[in-house]
Structure formats: C-alpha cells, structure tokens
Amino acid sequence: MSLHDQEQYSKNIKNYHPKTPYVWNSLKAFLVGGAICAFGQGIQNFYMSVFDFSEKNAGNPTVATLILISALLTGFGVYDKIGQFAGAGSAVPVTGFANSITSAALEHKSEGIVLGVATNMFKLAGSVIVFGVVAAYLVGIVRLIFRALL
Amino acid sequence: MEYFLAFAVGGAICVIGQLLLDIFKLTPAHVMSSFVVSGAILDGFGIYDKLIEFAGAGATVPITSFGHSLLHGAMQKGEEHGFIGIGMGIFQLTSAGISSAIVFGFIVAILFKPKG
C-alpha cells in the first residue's frame, strides 16, 4: 500500500467518524468544572469561618478535602461516570489529579500491593508532577537571576 | 457573588481544557501537564495571584494552581537561600495536596475492588 492510498483512506473514512460536538462538550465541562470549583469555594469558606484559617492558608485543607472526596468517589466508581460526562470538567480540577492516582492504583491492584498499586500509582499523575516541578524550577531560577540583576 | 466568580472562572478554565481535548486531540495527561506549566509561567509574571484574588476557589481548585503553588514555595525559600532554596521549597505548599493524594489513593486502592 502506498502513501497515497493511506491519504485516500483517511479522507474516505472521515465521513464515518462521529462529529465532535464542541459546544455541547464545552458546556458540560463548564458546568461540571464550575460546580466543582464553587463546591471548593464552599469548603474554603467553611475552613475560614470554623477553623480560623486565613484566606491564603485555607487553600491547603480545601485541596486535601477535595482529594479525599475524589478518591472515595473513584473507589465507588462514581467519579469515572462523571468523567465520561464532563470530560475536562472533571479532569482539570485538582479532583481529577486525585482520580488519576486512585484509578491507576485500583486498576493494577491484581498485580499486588507493591508491584501493582504502589508502582503504578503515578502512571498518569507523574507527568503532572514532573512538568510542574521542572517548569517551576526553571521559572524560579529566571526570577532569581532577574532579582540579582535589578 | 464569590461562588458565582468561582463557578465562572473555574468553569472557563475547564472549557479551555475541553477545547484542547476536542480540537487539538490531546490526551488528558497532555492537557493537565500543559496546565501545570502554564500555571507556573503565569505565576512567574505575578498574574496567577491576581486571578486567585479575583476568583478564589475558581483559581485554586483547577490544576493550574499546582504549578502556581510549586513556584510560590520555591520562591519563598529561594529568597532566603538563593538557588539552593528553590529545590528546598518547591514542594512546601503542595505537600498537603501530594501527600493526601498518595495516602487516600493508597487506602482506597486497598479497601475497594476495581470497577468495570
């Protein structure tokens, strides 16, 4: 089969691909993602009023609470159903980060606790940590250099 | 009002992620990675702090705030100890998020049976 045939093939098959409903997908992502953030705002207000956290410090327990809820929902199989509906709406909030850790760990449970659960836990979330740390490290160095020069 | 702002801004960030998924056919891992990097870069220019002041949880709950917290921790120690401080402080603020994700994820994986 030549390269030309392959191009022809992808052209022919294009009509049979389901069309991506951009607007509907974005609306679902907006509603679910927004709801998760508004829920997070509620938790943050709770920590600020009940436990005397300042607005800056309240972010940490809020994120930890959201992660706990998301890990439990993943265990019950609920979060993955939300994910099928909401797409990026459930993947982009920090709950999606916890979901990727928990679901990767659960998926490999049959291979054992050490080689399955612990080894595969960061299979998906690892990229987030690696890119985050590398980017923050480089930006931090650039900022320190600028501060030294000015 | 603060709930509305959290909803609108958080939802808007998710829409950007959804468009990256649909139009550029990226995987969720690619979207999350690029969001963390953009969070760190936006914080480098001091923009992300303003977004948090404006939108509250709408800016702290999306994964972009992970990059922002990494850089903030790095800069806190970096100001005291220079270049070595960046490595010392980078996980300081994100520690709660990462450790709870590991512990809760592990416990859930032990207690629950895989679905599907």
Mutating which of B32, B38, B66, B95 best tests the A interface, going by the most A Cβ atoms within 10 A? B32
A77–B115 CB contact, under 8 Å: yes
A93–B96 CB contact, under 8 Å: no
Q: What is the pLDDT of residues B41-51, one digit of tens each?
A: 999 999 999 99
pTM (2 d.p.): 0.88
B17–A88 CB contact, under 8 Å: yes
Q: Is B18 on the interface with A (CB under 8 A)?
A: yes
CA A30 to chain centre: 15
Per-residue pLDDT, A3: 63
User: What chain B residue is nearest to A59 in terms of C-alpha separation?
Assistant: B60
A92–B32 CB contact, under 8 Å: yes
Q: Of B22, B109, B64, which is closest to residue A97 (Cα–Cα)?
A: B64
User: What chain A residue is nearest to B67 in terms of C-alpha separation?
Assistant: A132
Residue A86 to residue A32: CA distance in whole angstroms: 6
* Element holding A36 (H helix, E strand): helix A22-50
Would you tell me how many other CB atoms lie within 10 Å of the CB of residue A10?
A: 10
Please, which pLDDT band fits residue B31 given cuts at 50, 70 and 90? very high
Q: What is the pLDDT of residues B50-104, one digit of tens each?
A: 999 999 999 999 999 999 999 999 999 998 998 899 999 999 989 989 999 999 9
**Mind giving me the DSSP string for A45-107?**
HHHHHHS---TTTTHHHHHHHHHHHHHHHHHTTHHHHHHHHHTHHHHSBHHHHHHHHHHHHHH
User: Which residues in chain A touch residue B90, judged by CB atoms under 8 angstroms apart?
Assistant: 133, 136-137, 140
Strands (E) across A31-150 are located at: none
Binned average pLDDT, 10 residues per bin, chain A of 150 residues: 72 78 92 95 92 81 93 93 92 94 92 91 93 95 90
Which ipTM was obtained for this model?
0.91
From the list A34, A117, A132, the residue facing B106 with the nearest CB is: A117
